[in-house]
A and B are shown apart, each in its own frame.
Chain A
Amino acid sequence: MAEPRRGATGADAGNAALLGGHAPGRAAAAALRRLRQDLFPAAPVLPRMRLAACLDRQGERSKGRLFSYVIHHRPVPGFTPPYAIAVVELDEGPRLMTNITNCPQTPEALQLDMKLEVAFETLDDEITLPLFQPVKG
């Protein structure tokens, strides 16, 4: 299906490792540590935002909860409405914007504080995005 690609094209030097690579999570975290910027977003001072470390869970899927969202009903390239644009709060504290996958995009299915786990979506050789899905069971 030749859908337009999401608008993820601009990772800068500080953040490229976070969004890039074939082995997101651990690799991203390792790369960011080499940069001494294991923060999200990469910045000199944002102590709450240790996203890279949170994504590096020794092979375990990072978990969090659905913190807030909207369900967008208008078309955007790369998306099929209605789709949720969400903010997830990781168990370790940082929050990030994301999408909820493997879940109906309805208010009934998307309950605030529901448990979620990361589900990386590889867009291409350069960009891999941390999406989230409901924790099963």
Chain B
Amino acid sequence: MTVRSIAPKTIAIVGAAETTKLGVIPDMSQIQLHADAALNAMADAGLKPSDIDGIATAGETPVTLAHYLGITPNWVDGTSVGGCSFMVHVRHATAAIAAGLCKTVLITHGESGRSGIGRTRVVPPPSSLFGQFEVPFGPMGPPTLFTMPVLRYMKTYGVTEEQLAMVAVVQREWAAKNPRATFKDPITVDDVLNSRMIAYPFRLLMCCLVTDGGGALILTSADRAKDFPTKPVYILGTGESVETPMVSQMADFTSSRAFRVSGSNAFKSAGITHADVDHLMIYDAFAHLPVFGLEDLGFLPAGEAATFIAGRNTATGREAAAQHQWRRLELHAFRHVRHVCAPGERPARCAASPRPRCRGAKISVCHGAGGMFAASGTVIMSNEGQTLSHQAGEGLRYSPVKLGGRLPRKAPIASL
């Protein structure tokens, strides 16, 4: 099936920001976190609320957000499919702007995950499929559900607990490079394996942090983007999909269909191959997600990602194309809007990035998950405004990189 897409680089991110504070914010409610991030993003773009004519958010309703900020939108998106909702919003906003439904879209995320101030957490009712067919067996949140496929994956591909622990070790190294990360101290495989057991095989340090914070993005058309004070980051391609509201009904416990569809469509619409990617961010809330992500996005063949990560191929100090995002494991609250606004957008923008590893990066892939493998969103960005000249690559599912060593150097792009 062919999926039509918006032409690459016709829509741009012109504003991006996090909340003023991150981590533990006991004096701000959920809607205040949304608003704080939104106002910071507007300041970044030199806009005021009356300049925004499209809004998208999840967690909060777009109604509350619009009213709270004094925005009168011509376009509204409240798609709420879990943590990747905000990346799906980018895709929807791209289409809405391209279609002329609105001109300037604000996407916000805010989560009082640690302090629990003014939360609007949605709990599936007992009559939901989840309520009927999973709740009776005692799950309690993502540590018991998101993790459900992992033992099957480990047996299928011979993955060890040490390899799984290494994901957390490597991601902590990236967190250490982020001044705003909650935890920066290095950890070892033993530290991870000896941390408190939460839901075997997952120990505490393999699990997602819960914090307070948020982020916001502002998107507009590429022709208008030139007039903004920030250097635009162009949307190359996007993807989205969903699979199942119950992780027990995932078709394949070693691969996420939502990941595959979302990733594949993003690459196709961007017109790039894996070799073009300078910078990769995969939602790493739990230790297995980068493993699934690397394979389902087509960077590695099935079953090879755990070995790849355990071999430090995505670790700091590597000129790897597969540079995972830095702190997803460290700062839960920011969900995927942070994937896009920072660190994703900033390295792509390369505007005085504090992270030397990202200097020179042009194309960034950001991939998120929603729910318990329920949904996915993928956004591919570029800080270069020119149109790419080559066509989408074939065989995206298996575009392997060399194992046990450095990833291949990025192939030159003629038009850049």
A67 vs B251: C-alpha distance when bound (angstroms)? 12
* CB-CB contacts below 8 Å: B211-258 with A: 246, 248-249, 253
Q: Assess the B138–A9 pair: CB atoms within 8 A.
A: no
Q: Which of B127, B138, B143, B151 contacts A10 (CB 8 A)?
A: B127
Q: Assess the B132–A10 pair: CB atoms within 8 A.
A: yes
Query: For the side of the interface on A, what is the size category?
Result: 35 or more
| Beta-carbon nearest neighbor of A105 in chain B | B200
What is the predominant secondary structure among interface residues of chain B facing chain A? mixed
Q: Assess the A112–B200 pair: CB atoms within 8 A.
A: no
| Beta-carbon nearest neighbor of A13 in chain B | B127
A74 to chain B, nearest CB (A): 6
A122 to chain B: which residues have CB within 8 Å? Answer: none
Q: Assess the B140–A76 pair: CB atoms within 8 A.
A: yes
A7 vs B196: C-alpha distance when bound (angstroms)? 26
A60-87 interface bits toward B, Cβ cutoff 8 Å, 1 = contact, 0 = none: 0000000111111110101100110111
A121 to chain B, nearest CB (A): 10
B199 in the interface (beta carbon within 8 A):
yes
Q: Tell whether A97 pairs with B246 under 8 Å between CB atoms, given A70-B147, A71-B200.
A: yes
* CB-CB contacts below 8 Å: A37-70 with B: 40-41, 49, 67-70
Q: Assess the B200–A82 pair: CB atoms within 8 A.
A: yes
B148 to chain A: which residues have CB within 8 Å? Answer: 68-70, 85, 87, 97
B160 to chain A, nearest CB (A): 13
A8 in the interface (beta carbon within 8 A):
yes
Q: Assess the A87–B248 pair: CB atoms within 8 A.
A: yes
A7 to chain B: which residues have CB within 8 Å? Answer: 126, 131, 135-136
Q: Assess the A72–B199 pair: CB atoms within 8 A.
A: yes
A4 to chain B, nearest CB (A): 11
A129 in the interface (beta carbon within 8 A):
yes
Interface centre among A8, A9, A67, A70 (most CB of B within 10 A): A70
A73 to chain B: which residues have CB within 8 Å? Answer: 196-200
A74 vs B139: C-alpha distance when bound (angstroms)? 10
A76-103 interface bits toward B, Cβ cutoff 8 Å, 1 = contact, 0 = none: 1011001101110000000111110000
A133 in the interface (beta carbon within 8 A):
no
Q: Assess the B126–A68 pair: CB atoms within 8 A.
A: no
Q: Assess the B132–A83 pair: CB atoms within 8 A.
A: no
Q: Assess the B144–A72 pair: CB atoms within 8 A.
A: yes
Q: Assess the A85–B144 pair: CB atoms within 8 A.
A: yes
Q: Assess the A8–B152 pair: CB atoms within 8 A.
A: no
B67 in the interface (beta carbon within 8 A):
no
B400 in the interface (beta carbon within 8 A):
no
Q: Assess the B132–A8 pair: CB atoms within 8 A.
A: yes
A79 to chain B: which residues have CB within 8 Å? Answer: 138
A6 in the interface (beta carbon within 8 A):
yes
Interface centre among B131, B134, B138, B140 (most CB of A within 10 A): B138
Q: Tell whether A69 pairs with B132 under 8 Å between CB atoms, given A10-B125, A10-B127, A74-B198.
A: no
B129 in the interface (beta carbon within 8 A):
yes
A86 to chain B: which residues have CB within 8 Å? Answer: 137
A28 in the interface (beta carbon within 8 A):
no
Binding site for A on B (CB under 8 A): 125-129, 131-140, 143-144, 147-152, 155, 196-202, 246, 248-249, 253
In the complex, 25 of the A-B residue pairs with CB atoms within 8 angstroms, ordered by the A residue number, are A7-B135, A10-B126, A11-B132, A67-B253, A68-B152, A68-B253, A70-B199, A70-B201, A70-B202, A73-B199, A74-B198, A82-B197, A82-B200, A83-B138, A85-B148, A87-B148, A87-B248, A95-B248, A95-B249, A97-B133, A97-B139, A99-B137, A99-B138, A127-B136, A129-B136
